[in-house]
């Protein structure tokens, strides 16, 4: 399959939304008509105005800016940096300001209660969020004796679900999540 090349006219100004269907095809739009579309790229002019009015940090445009943070915590907690990048990619698309409908926040989409337990003071701070997320991944990997698939399933649907089913839960979202993260991890290697 040939890689997609997307370009926008310089004068264009709109948020861009993205959705990946079950077959792996990416769909982009500036006018989402389906709740499966998630923000992919903010309108730069509107984004600057929002940051000025609400004092919000900027949106990541380049995943490489998080490389030093990822490398440091990968080393500290002994977690493969490719796996960390894959989780960040799947969870937030490298948007440090991402907040899910369920309340998960930041690059690694930590739920407030989980973040609190990991001593994450600010889930929207990239370093704090990645530290907490990697620490949680390390815990899950240890809990599931290094089994990345089970650790990822627990990251997505909770340890209780994995324990209840004795493996990856039969939830389509969780099964898709594990496959997607492992695929991304292989691409980051």
For residues 154 and 143, the answer to whether their CB atoms sit within 8 Å is: yes
For residues 69 and 77, the answer to whether their CB atoms sit within 8 Å is: no
Q: Based on the residue annotation, tell me whether 173 is a catalytic residue of this protein.
A: no
How many whole angstroms separate alpha carbon 93 and alpha carbon 108? 9
Return the residue matching tokens 């008509």: 33
Nearest alpha carbon to residue 110 among 85, 136, 89: 136
Query: Quick one: how many helices (H) and strands (E) in the chain?
Result: 8, 3
For residues 85 and 70, the answer to whether their CB atoms sit within 8 Å is: yes
Residue 38 host element (H or E): strand 38-41
One of 20, 91, 148, 173 is an active-site residue; which one?
Answer: 91
Measure CA 55 to chain center: 23
Active site amino acids: 91
């Amino acid at each position: 399959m040939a890689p997609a090349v997307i370009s926008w006219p310089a004068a264009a100004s709109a948020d861009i939304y993205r959705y990946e269907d079950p077959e792996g095809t990416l769909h982009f739009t500036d006018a989402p008509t389906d709740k499966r579309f998630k923000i992919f790229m903010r309108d730069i002019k509107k984004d600057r105005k929002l940051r000025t009015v609400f004092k919000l940090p900027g949106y990541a445009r380049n995943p490489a800016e998080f490389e030093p943070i990822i490398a440091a915590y990968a080393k500290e907690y002994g977690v493969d940096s490719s796996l960390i990048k894959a989780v960040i990619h799947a969870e937030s698309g490298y948007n440090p300001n991402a907040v899910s409908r369920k309340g998960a926040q930041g690059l690694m989409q930590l739920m407030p209660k989980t973040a609190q337990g990991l001593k994450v003071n600010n889930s929207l701070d990239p370093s704090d969020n990645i530290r907490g997320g990697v620490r949680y991944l390390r815990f899950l990997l240890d809990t599931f004796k290094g089994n990345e698939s089970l650790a990822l399933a627990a990251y997505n649907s909770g340890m209780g679900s994995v324990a209840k089913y004795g493996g990856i839960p039969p939830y389509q979202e969780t099964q898709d999540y594990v496959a997607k993260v492992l695929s991304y991890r292989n691409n980051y290697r």
